[in-house]
Amino acid sequence: MKKIGVLTSGGDAPGMNAAIRAVVRKCIYHNVEVYGIKNGYQGLIEGNIEKMEIGSVGDIIQRGGTKLYSARCEEFKTDAGQNKGIEQLNKFGIEGLVVIGGDGSFRGAQKLTAKGYPCIGVPGTIDNDIPGTDFTIGFDTALNTIIEAIDKIRDTATSHERTYVIEVMGRNAGDLALWAGLADGAESILIPEQPDDFQDVIERLKRGHERGKKHSIIILAEGVGSGIDYGKKIQEATDLETRVTVLGHIQRGGSPTANDRVLASRLGAKAVDLLLAGKAGRMVGIENNKLVDHDIDTILTVEHTIDEEMYQLSKELSI
Amino acid sequence: MKKIGVLTSGGDAPGMNAAIRAVVRKCIYHNVEVYGIKNGYQGLIEGNIEKMEIGSVGDIIQRGGTKLYSARCEEFKTDAGQNKGIEQLNKFGIEGLVVIGGDGSFRGAQKLTAKGYPCIGVPGTIDNDIPGTDFTIGFDTALNTIIEAIDKIRDTATSHERTYVIEVMGRNAGDLALWAGLADGAESILIPEQPDDFQDVIERLKRGHERGKKHSIIILAEGVGSGIDYGKKIQEATDLETRVTVLGHIQRGGSPTANDRVLASRLGAKAVDLLLAGKAGRMVGIENNKLVDHDIDTILTVEHTIDEEMYQLSKELSI
Amino acid sequence: MKKIGVLTSGGDAPGMNAAIRAVVRKCIYHNVEVYGIKNGYQGLIEGNIEKMEIGSVGDIIQRGGTKLYSARCEEFKTDAGQNKGIEQLNKFGIEGLVVIGGDGSFRGAQKLTAKGYPCIGVPGTIDNDIPGTDFTIGFDTALNTIIEAIDKIRDTATSHERTYVIEVMGRNAGDLALWAGLADGAESILIPEQPDDFQDVIERLKRGHERGKKHSIIILAEGVGSGIDYGKKIQEATDLETRVTVLGHIQRGGSPTANDRVLASRLGAKAVDLLLAGKAGRMVGIENNKLVDHDIDTILTVEHTIDEEMYQLSKELSI
Amino acid sequence: MKKIGVLTSGGDAPGMNAAIRAVVRKCIYHNVEVYGIKNGYQGLIEGNIEKMEIGSVGDIIQRGGTKLYSARCEEFKTDAGQNKGIEQLNKFGIEGLVVIGGDGSFRGAQKLTAKGYPCIGVPGTIDNDIPGTDFTIGFDTALNTIIEAIDKIRDTATSHERTYVIEVMGRNAGDLALWAGLADGAESILIPEQPDDFQDVIERLKRGHERGKKHSIIILAEGVGSGIDYGKKIQEATDLETRVTVLGHIQRGGSPTANDRVLASRLGAKAVDLLLAGKAGRMVGIENNKLVDHDIDTILTVEHTIDEEMYQLSKELSI
């Protein structure tokens, strides 16, 4: 394989730049040419493709977002769209493709691979909702962004004796909420993977209040529902002053943490290794601190789960 | 004067702890006893009062929130409430009071002073809406919290070509929005002090989009209206993908910036100086980098204004 | 077991407070009384011991340092010192002890256990140099502190075309240097576990310089030697302007990252579980994302190693 | 004036990019062409000059360092060097120059102006050592970097009962040390502008220690001498465990604070206004929150002073 392409697709995640950098540098290390495709599959269809050099990835390892931009692309879900993409790849002589993104992005990679075009997926999403890897690129950064925000809210919560409901991202996954809740000592953590026992939430709040607790924090995963609605329910049920913060898009940005930079570097480099070894249709991941790879077909059918023991611990520590 | 009291009242602001620390240490420096009153005027009425020592303010200069807690107190707006407060102060032998807070808090100080009980106000609020001081304690920290959040949003905005509307705090004042907009190169800044020319906002967005701009950021002061509503209007008028973030209570917390710590230390110490010099009913402030003090009566009647030149500059730089 | 004690010992690490909090809350959850011992083994000998309640660990999960303080204690290395410690524990009726610290601290726990007093070790040190756990409490925070510092230095390095040598902590272990180097794209990483090929370092620098690279960063683990000396050698050998920064004690402090808070919470709670299950002389750890425990005797004889694959990757990506 | 040039020179400072951005956008706002000169006066001599557009300054307002790079240049101190610079400016048709930097940089601007070539200086240096402006671009960011570092050190200092000596930048000026010391509640602040009463420092340390203080922090401006030497003297005189941290180059980098971005934007825009108004040989500054300009000749002869009242306050609050 003499030419490899790389693109980012779907929602952006901090660390994507570090993954791009690793793909580029690993290729150059192996004397393989490397091409950046801009705006994800949209740019692939349009031939928005440029050769990358070492200098192209200078000073980006620490940047949030993605230097190659990202976009959602309906056309690429069609057979015709995929064929246009392969045409462009052939035109540039690109023989293999690294796709950095989430499950939607992997579906595209799966389709290209099925058409005989070798792709490797790199899991990049803050939601940590991809099976086959313990962590996705961006999760650790988003998590730290969340706890820094909660730390700030806690200052004012303490000053005023209030209940705060904080809605965090994660799509259908509760990982961000669960980890953030444990890391910030939340009273209650509401995630899609666990039934919401409203009565239990209310009793914890009341118990804390009676014990003289100055503030209470409830973390709600967006997959469970609207933080604003939940806050109203809480206020009605407890009569405690309740404020809601929807953290929103600050969770997708920021300079990646060390963990995300290292993970992205390892996964990006591994993706190149797989392509050079003639592999296709695989997703790289990290499991038990070791680099692994799985069939994308399998990944897309497995369901995401949370760590039950951590959820249980969160209950025990928030007495 | 041998005994001085200190309380924080109203919305908390980063730097209030540094101000408390300065009051306590300045008193001790002058061999004056100092008493902390918890939960603002509510605690004053209830006699929730404790003697403070140097150790009471150890390790708090860098903490957000207020160690003395804050609360709103309806009862203190009444004559009876104020008399109860004075009773408590007399009981403890406290001869003067430092009130750290916003305009609501100063009204209480004004009432006490009118009843012959000497108070000095220290302006602590993130909104920067107090006349008689160029900056209030907490403004600089909130401003930096805002721009860090916008920097993060910008990462993801750049990756996806979107318009972001960001609603920031400030009550009826536009200072946080104006400074944040200038500091983050926002396309448009909407503040209560200036008419909102919607057509101009739309045209800037379109112009930027045509020029190939990857993202646009609009800062909206809460005093202007709801960010969520505004985002809808923008999306309808431009057909550009528009997302809204309401920054919420993260803006009130966090470790204070150097500026806020220094300002709080200077103002807190100055308040003690004034009490010891026999002054009453004054608010300390900083104007032109110099410590000043004004009559609280005057402060409460003057209207807050923004820096017109900075607003004009924001227009010129966001072409 | 009805009463459990907890202490922190050795160099402090961010996350120790979260571990203390988990020990306290897990005990209370199980209706076990819990006692905090201040200043490590020194306080144990002196009986500097206090009962802890839920409120004792309020608002500390996000704080660096250790609320129980730490100290080195020569006396506790002696038989007599250990006996004094057991006497104090007996006096308070404390039946088991959780020791949060590094290998030096575990030696104390080992001695107490050998004398029939059950101890469990929790690995808390920024150095990540404890076998039997993939990560120690504090490592992730220190690592992020380092990369934030390097990100800042990189700004000025880029502006001026310089070589920077940055000395990081880690005692005899190279983990902080290796991870930081990978996370920040350092040109060369010098760690005690790998031979230092000075000629290779020089050639990388020259190669980068010829390619027009604006700056080069070399990370040196303190276990390798003095950064200041190394900087001089580099400057002499390359004639490139070289600056040295010894990051120093900023690496030990700061609010713990989400990862460190979660890890500390899990390990602290697990230590209580082990004591309640009648275990003694064990160290808890995390391996492959799962909680484990090992015999302290074994831990103290195994040698720490680094991840060879990551070291190799760092070479390939820094071409 | 139809074409304006801009360069950064001397030590870089956070906010220089925001100043460049303001110069470029203000020029374009007034339909003036604007040229970026790379590597300071060195690039001017070499003709390393490029036309800048709005897109050239996209996404830089929040970046540390300087996009135009900086360099020291011996040749430009000579008459011949200055003439070469003017030749290049004439070649490109550039009629006026904005010089962002410190006093060394202004000497160059002064020379060019004396030869009939209009220059305006913008004060950019973390040291805050330029007369004629209350604050220089970069000071606020460096100050906040310092206090964040000290906050971290304080965590570990508290845990271990130690004295820390922290050496901060500032060249011959004590502003960074004084403000940081006030903002972090340092026991003693040593600056070049004030005599160093060693005995007083020692007595404060001992007094604090006797009072049970867990840690003491001494801030030393680099202009006073070596932190490492000072630490040794302290340790010998007090017998308290003393550690030294030399903060080094982390102080020059980092994303600029809101204050620095706003200040840089205002000063950069004002410089363009002055050139367009036919002014030359002036330095823009901010005094009493208002934009001002002074003759560079005057600025270079006035001595920098510190705020005596703040120094006195630091003594009173660190009892």
pLDDT, tens digit, 9 for 90 and up, residues B125-157: 999 999 999 999 999 999 999 999 999 998 887
Q: What stretches of C31-102 show up as alpha helix (H) in DSSP?
A: 40-46, 79-92
Q: Please give the pLDDT value at position D309.
A: 95
Q: List, in sequence order, every residue forming a beta bridge with D283; answer none if it has no partner.
A: D121, D294
**Smallest Cβ distance to B151: which of D26, D158, D255?**
D255
Q: Which amino acid appears at position A21 of this protein?
A: R
Indicate whether A127 and A218 sit together in one domain: no
Q: Please give the pLDDT value at position C306.
A: 94
Indicate whether C165 and C286 sit together in one domain: no
In a domain, B308, yes or no: no
What is the residue range of D285's domain?
3-138+256-300
**Smallest Cβ distance to A249: which of B8, B156, B248?**
B156
Mind listing the pLDDT tens digit for each residue in D91-118?
A: 999 999 999 999 999 999 999 999 999 9
User: Which of A133, A103, A121, A118 shows the shortest CA–CA distance to A279?
Assistant: A118
Among the candidates B252, B283, B310, a domain finishes at: B252
Report the side by side order of strands in the sheet with D290-295.
D49-52, D33-37, D3-8, D96-101, D119-123, D282-287, D290-295
Q: Please give the pLDDT value at position D195.
A: 86
- Contact B159/A66, CB-based, under 8 Å? yes
In a domain, D316, yes or no: no
Q: Please give the pLDDT value at position C157.
A: 76
A63 is in an annotated binding site: no
What confidence tier does C74 reach under pLDDT thresholds 50, 70, 90?
Answer: very high
User: Which of B226, B260, B183, B222 shows the shortest CA–CA distance to B13?
Assistant: B260
Q: Which residues of A touch B71 (CB under 8 A)?
A: 160-161
Report yes or no: C57 and A319 within 8 Å, Cβ to Cβ: no
A272-284 average pLDDT score = 98
Report yes or no: C214 and C158 within 8 Å, Cβ to Cβ: yes
Residue D240, φ and ψ in degrees, nearest 5: -90, 145
What confidence tier does D215 reach under pLDDT thresholds 50, 70, 90?
Answer: confident
- Contact B152/A246, CB-based, under 8 Å? no
Q: Please give the pLDDT value at position C110.
A: 97
The rounded distance, in Å, linking the Cα atoms of B279 and B261 is 24
**Smallest Cβ distance to C319: which of A25, A211, A212?**
A25
- Which residue do the tokens 């349009």 mark? A46
Q: Which residues of C touch A247 (CB under 8 A)?
A: none
Percent of chain B at pLDDT above 90? 89
- Contact D253/C70, CB-based, under 8 Å? no
Q: Could you confirm whether B196 is annotated as catalytic?
A: no
Indicate whether D10 and D130 sit together in one domain: yes
Q: Please give the pLDDT value at position C90.
A: 97
Mind listing the pLDDT tens digit for each residue in B236-273?
A: 999 888 999 999 999 999 999 999 999 999 999 999 99
| Catalytic-role residue among B12, B79, B127, B297 | B127
The rounded distance, in Å, linking the Cα atoms of A68 and A37 is 7
What confidence tier does B319 reach under pLDDT thresholds 50, 70, 90?
Answer: confident
**Smallest Cβ distance to B253: which of A11, A156, A246?**
A156
- Contact A313/C269, CB-based, under 8 Å? yes
Both tokens of residue A122? 């790199």
Indicate whether D19 and D122 sit together in one domain: yes
> Which chains does A contact via 3+ CB–CB distances below 8 A?
B, C
C114-130 average pLDDT score = 97
The CA-based diameter of chain B, rounded to the nearest angstrom, is 70
Q: Name every residue whose Cβ is closer than 8 Å to that of residue A38 and which is 6 or more positions away in sequence.
A: A7, A48, A49, A50, A68, A69
A23 is in an annotated binding site: yes
A79-104 average pLDDT score = 97
Shortest CA gap D150–chain C (Å): 7
Mind listing the pLDDT tens digit for each residue in A298-310?
A: 999 999 999 999 9
pLDDT above 80 for C54: yes
Report yes or no: A271 and A71 within 8 Å, Cβ to Cβ: no
A173 is in an annotated binding site: no
Per DSSP, the three-state class of B238 is helix
In a domain, C111, yes or no: yes
Shortest CA gap B25–chain A (Å): 22
What is the 8-class DSSP label of residue A192? Answer: T
Backbone CA torsion sign across C208, C247, B143, D266: negative
Q: Please give the pLDDT value at position C153.
A: 93
Residues of D contacting chain C (CB within 8 angstroms): 8, 11-12, 14, 63-66, 69-71, 145, 149, 151-161, 164, 214, 243-254
Q: Name every residue whose Cβ is closer than 8 Å to that of residue A302 and which is 6 or more positions away in sequence.
A: A131, A132
Percent of chain A at pLDDT above 90? 89
Q: Name every residue whose Cβ is closer than 8 Å to that of residue C197 and which is 6 or more positions away in sequence.
A: none
Mind listing the pLDDT tens digit for each residue in A192-213?
A: 999 888 999 999 898 888 887 7
- Contact B69/A158, CB-based, under 8 Å? yes
Q: Which residues of D touch B61 (CB under 8 A)?
A: 183-185
Indicate whether B277 and B177 sit together in one domain: no
Q: Which residues of C touch A61 (CB under 8 A)?
A: 183-185
Q: Are strands C162-168 and C215-221 parallel, antiparallel or unpaired?
A: parallel
Q: List, in sequence order, every residue forming a beta bridge with D221; answer none if it has no partner.
A: D168
- What's the CATH code of the domain at C227? 3.40.50.460
Residues of A contacting chain B (CB within 8 angstroms): 8, 11-12, 14, 63-66, 69-71, 145, 149, 151-161, 164, 214, 243-254
- Contact A69/B246, CB-based, under 8 Å? no
In a domain, A312, yes or no: no
Indicate whether A242 and A261 sit together in one domain: no
Indicate whether C151 and C99 sit together in one domain: no
Shortest CA gap B318–chain D (Å): 8
Pairwise pLDDT comparison (D195 vs D308), residue with the higher score? D308
Indicate whether C100 and C66 sit together in one domain: yes
In a domain, B28, yes or no: yes
pLDDT above 80 for B214: no
Structural domain total, chain D: 2
Q: Which residues of A touch C146 (CB under 8 A)?
A: 258
The rounded distance, in Å, linking the Cα atoms of D187 and C151 is 30
CA D114-D119-D124 angle, 5° bins: 125
Q: What is the CA radius of gyration of chain C?
A: 22
Mind listing the pLDDT tens digit for each residue in D44-54?
A: 999 999 999 99
Q: Name every residue whose Cβ is closer than 8 Å to that of residue D226 and which is 6 or more positions away in sequence.
A: D167
**Smallest Cβ distance to B289: which of D59, D134, D179?**
D134
Mind listing the pLDDT tens digit for each residue in B47-62?
A: 999 999 999 999 999 9
What are the binding residues of B for ATP?
11, 72-73, 102-105
Q: Which residues of C touch A289 (CB under 8 A)?
A: 134, 288-289
- What's the CATH code of the domain at C47? 3.40.50.450
**Pairs across A and C, CB distance < 8 A:** 130
> Which chains does D contact via 3+ CB–CB distances below 8 A?
B, C
Shortest CA gap B283–chain D (Å): 19
The rounded distance, in Å, linking the Cα atoms of B11 and A155 is 12
Indicate whether A94 and A231 sit together in one domain: no
Q: Which residues of C touch D245 (CB under 8 A)?
A: 246, 248-250
Best of D63, D147, D209, D214 to mutate (most B CBs within 10 Å, chain B): D147
Indicate whether C169 and C235 sit together in one domain: yes
Q: Please give the pLDDT value at position B155.
A: 85
C154 is in an annotated binding site: yes
Report yes or no: C219 and C180 within 8 Å, Cβ to Cβ: yes
Shortest CA gap C153–chain A (Å): 12
Mind listing the pLDDT tens digit for each residue in B90-121?
A: 999 999 999 999 999 999 999 999 999 999 99
Q: Are strands C33-37 and A49-52 parallel, antiparallel or unpaired?
A: unpaired
Q: Name every residue whose Cβ is closer than 8 Å to that of residue A70 and which is 6 or more positions away in sequence.
A: A8, A9, A10, A11, A12, A16, A39, A40, A101, B159, B160
In a domain, D106, yes or no: yes
pLDDT above 90 for C162: no
**Smallest Cβ distance to C156: which of D245, D247, D249?**
D249
D207-224 average pLDDT score = 89
Indicate whether A262 and A129 sit together in one domain: yes
What confidence tier does C63 reach under pLDDT thresholds 50, 70, 90?
Answer: very high
Q: Please give the pLDDT value at position B136.
A: 98
Among the candidates A234, A252, A270, a domain finishes at: A252
A224 is in an annotated binding site: no
- Contact D66/C246, CB-based, under 8 Å? no
What confidence tier does C293 reach under pLDDT thresholds 50, 70, 90?
Answer: very high
Q: Please give the pLDDT value at position A269.
A: 98
In a domain, C310, yes or no: no
What confidence tier does A170 reach under pLDDT thresholds 50, 70, 90?
Answer: very high
The rounded distance, in Å, linking the Cα atoms of B241 and B260 is 37
Q: Please give the pLDDT value at position A215.
A: 84
C185 is in an annotated binding site: yes
| Catalytic-role residue among C12, C127, C140, C260 | C127
Q: What is the pTM of this model?
A: 0.97
What is the 8-class DSSP label of residue B224? Answer: T
| Catalytic-role residue among A59, A79, A127, A197 | A127
The rounded distance, in Å, linking the Cα atoms of D46 and D277 is 29
Q: Which residues of D touch B26 (CB under 8 A)?
A: 316-317
Q: Which amino acid appears at position D76 of this protein?
A: F
Pairwise pLDDT comparison (A71 vs C193), residue with the higher score? C193
- CB-neighbour burial class of residue D198 (10 A; exposed 0-12, middle 13-18, buried 19+): middle
Shortest CA gap B49–chain D (Å): 23
Percent of chain C at pLDDT above 70? 100
CA distances from D99 to B275, C176, D24, D68, D149 (A): 48, 41, 13, 12, 31
Percent of chain D at pLDDT above 90? 89
Which residues of D are catalytic, by number? 127
In a domain, C95, yes or no: yes
Mind listing the pLDDT tens digit for each residue in C208-224?
A: 888 877 789 999 999 99
Distance of CA A9 to the CA centre of its chain: 12
Q: Please give the pLDDT value at position B74.
A: 94
- Contact B249/A12, CB-based, under 8 Å? no
Chain C residue with minimal CA distance to A184? C61
Indicate whether A41 and A124 sit together in one domain: yes
Least confident of A3-17, B147-161, C70-84: B147-161
What confidence tier does C197 reach under pLDDT thresholds 50, 70, 90?
Answer: confident
- Which residue do the tokens 């950069």 mark? D268
